[in-house]
Amino acid sequence: MSWEIKNSRIVSLNVGIPVEAMHGAKPIQTGIFKSASNDKHYLSTTGLSGDGQADLVHHGGPDKAVCVYFECHFPYWEEWLGNKLSYGAFGENWTLSEWSEQDLCIGDVLQAGNVVVQVSQPRQPCFKLGIRHERPELTAHVQQTGFTGFYFRVLQEGEIGAGEDLKLVKRHPAAISLAEANRVMYEGKTDLEGMTALLAVDELSDSWKQTLKSRVERLQQM
């Protein structure tokens, strides 16, 4: 994969605190409802000021400090859903221009202003995305398309806002793209070589490592 890619831009910074939503007949708390902010927000190793997650087991934490989605996917989803979407519609903290899952790799280091971040894993869409758009089948379709978005961990804290340029400062030597990581996770469940290569990337999130290690162990016992 080429080292040279054009800079991206944070076209929208989106935050939101958990609110109550209905999952069938059951009320749940969710942080999926994000909206654009024109303010600067402090980004720490655990996330943005003014933002929050309800399910801290599956969301948030150092490996998932920033949820990111790509602007280029919005036209596809607007056609599929049949309505115009606002930034933050996928529960993302940063909406990025220019790039897609093909352009970034697990372990890549990027910088926006004084903030330095690192790609940790693709996003695994959960059922709350379906609740957000009142389309339960959306979650599975996001996974099938590979238009998942991803997460950053924070290497250097600082203030950040919409409009900041984001540049790649270090390509991980393994160069395993987010798209390839998605393929291994969702389609390559018996791809021992692919899983082993992904596990060799130390910068991969702990949760993905655990899932892949379990699969590899099961395959080796067969």
Grouping H, G, I as helix, E, B as strand and the rest as coil, residue 100 is: coil
Question: What sign does the dihedral 111-115-120-123 (CA atoms) show?
Answer: negative
pLDDT of residue 192: 96
Alpha helices in 106-173 (DSSP H): 127-133, 138-145
Share above pLDDT 70 across residues of the chain, in percent, rounded to a whole number: 90
- Work out the average pLDDT over 82-105: 97
3-state SS of 33-98 is CCEEECCCEEEECCEECCCCCCCCCCCCCHHHCEEEEEHHHHHHHHHHHCCCCCCCCCCCCEEECC
The average confidence (pLDDT) of the chain is 92
**Strand partners of residue 151:** 67, 121
Q: What is the pLDDT of residues 37-79, one digit of tens each?
A: 999 999 999 999 999 765 555 556 899 999 999 999 999 999 9
Residues 8-172, CATH architecture: Beta Barrel (2.40)
Question: Global pTM?
Answer: 0.93
The domain ranges of the chain are 8-172
CA distance 179 to 53: 25
The CA–CA distances, whole Å, from 101 to 41, 91, 104, 162, 183 equal 25, 17, 6, 21, 11
Q: What is the pLDDT of residues 131-189, one digit of tens each?
A: 989 899 999 999 999 999 999 999 999 999 999 999 999 999 999 999 999 999 999 99
